[in-house]
Amino acid sequence: MSASPAAAPGRPRDPEVDRRIAQAALDVFGDAGWAGFAMEAVARRACVGKASLYLRWNSKEALLTHAITAGLPRVSDVDTGTLHGDLVELATQMLDLYVGSSSRAAIRLNLEAEAIPGVAEHYLSMRKAQVVAARAIVRRGIDRAELPGTISVTLLLDTLIGGAMMHALTTPADRRAALAGDTAAHARLLVDFLLSAVTAVDA
């Protein structure tokens, strides 16, 4: 089944409506999973007519694929000029993903994406791009002699990304808003701790 959006010829697209639908789709998926994901439920959550969805997407697989692309925070390569700055940005992106408004959908995708026709391939491609971007950040740090050449890229990233993800998932509900409002602050603490540990081991 194709995951391509099917827009009606000549029909102008309203970016705000598209944004609202994408967020509603992520909310419905996050709440109910794939088993409870339906065009009607998304239309109700977005406060639009069901016909508006079918004019834009020809299936619920296509709708969810669009929502993932448009609505989920991206984990991407960034070059601030320093390893510390790059890792802070990376950790911030992970915190934003798992503490933000689409966090439940992100968790569901980790559990269910592989079993959703038309979505699995797209999500796998996104995940591969994220891994490549993260590894590029660490390798630049090694090339600039900010990290020892013997460092395990995989272990460093597992520690950083896992730490950011677990902090987001285990933060109490009454503190999540504060974390979401300044994810960069915790990202800096995490990176400072990790790099000090790596430096101590190398010394």
Query: Per-residue pLDDT tens for 167-180?
Result: 999 999 999 999 99
Q: Is the pLDDT of residue 7 over 80?
A: no
Q: Is the pLDDT of residue 14 over 90?
A: no
Task: Say what the pLDDT of residue 3 is.
Answer: 47
Q: Could you tell me the pLDDT band of residue 52, with boundaries at 50, 70 and 90?
A: confident
The domain limits of the chain are 15-70, 72-202
Task: Say what the pLDDT of residue 75 is.
Answer: 80
15-70 architecture in CATH? Answer: Orthogonal Bundle (1.10)
Q: Could you tell me the pLDDT band of residue 82, with boundaries at 50, 70 and 90?
A: very high
Q: Is 105 exposed, middle or buried (0-12, 13-18, 19+ CB in 10 A)?
A: buried
SS3 111: helix
DSSP 123-186: HHHHHHHHHHHHHHHHHHHHHTTSS-TT--HHHHHHHHHHHHHHHHHHS-HHHHHHHHHTHHHH
Query: Per-residue pLDDT tens for 154-167?
Result: 999 999 999 999 99
CATH number of 72-202: 1.10.357.10, 3.20.20.140, 1.20.950.20, 2.40.50.140?
Answer: 1.10.357.10
